[in-house]
Amino acid sequence: MRGKRGQFYIIAAVIIAIIILSITGLTNYVTVKEEPASFYDLGTNFGQEGPVVVNYGVYNSLVISDVVKRFTDAYSDYMALTGEQEFNLVVIYGNNRQATKTTYTRASTGEVETDLGTIPVSNAITSVTEPIPTGQSSIDVRIQEKDYNFKLKENENFLFVMTTSKGFENYVEENIQTS
């Protein structure tokens, strides 16, 4: 047994190392949550359809503010139907002489527990429209504690920032390119 004492210490050291590594392996891990693909799809669609609506209004000599308001009202209702419980949609349209900012907000007011599970309860969508007289080529707008710079040209522009949150994660989809 005297000649085997070194092997005993090596085996004991290996067992202790395995225990230490398994404990640290259990405590150091990262969970990655999936991004809401449907939210980004909504943003992409809104970014593609919005300029088409503005062009339609310009081509048919319609009041652009009315056309854009009807479109964004309908789209915010559509966002609510697709399952976005909480979202902010800020739309800026106009040109370098006059621009309008409309903010659509839908916030959760809590949850109702039933025998079948928990159902989130949301407020209706609220909207606030405010004119932004510019006379400048760009304006700065603060949206959820972040500043966005919108460059306005002479033609009609359609710009937006869409945000939502799930738990502690915030997701942002934006189109700040002018047409």
Domain boundaries, the chain: 34-175
pLDDT in tens, 80-94: 777 666 778 888 887
pLDDT at 15: 93
DSSP the chain: -GGGHHHHHHHHHHHHHHHHHHHHHHH-----PPP-HHHHHHHHHHHHHHHHHHHHHHHTT--HHHHHHHHHHHHHHHHHHTT--SEEEEEEEE-SSEEEEEEEEE-EEEEEEETTEEEEEEPPPEEEEEEEE--SSEEEEEETTEEEEEE--SS-EEEEEEEEEETTEEEEEEE----
Q: Is the pTM of this model over 0.95?
A: no
pLDDT at 25: 65
Q: Does residue 69 or residue 28 have the better pLDDT?
A: 69
Q: How confident is the model at residue 30 (pLDDT cuts 50, 70, 90)?
A: low
Residue-averaged pLDDT of the chain: 77
Q: How confident is the model at residue 121 (pLDDT cuts 50, 70, 90)?
A: low
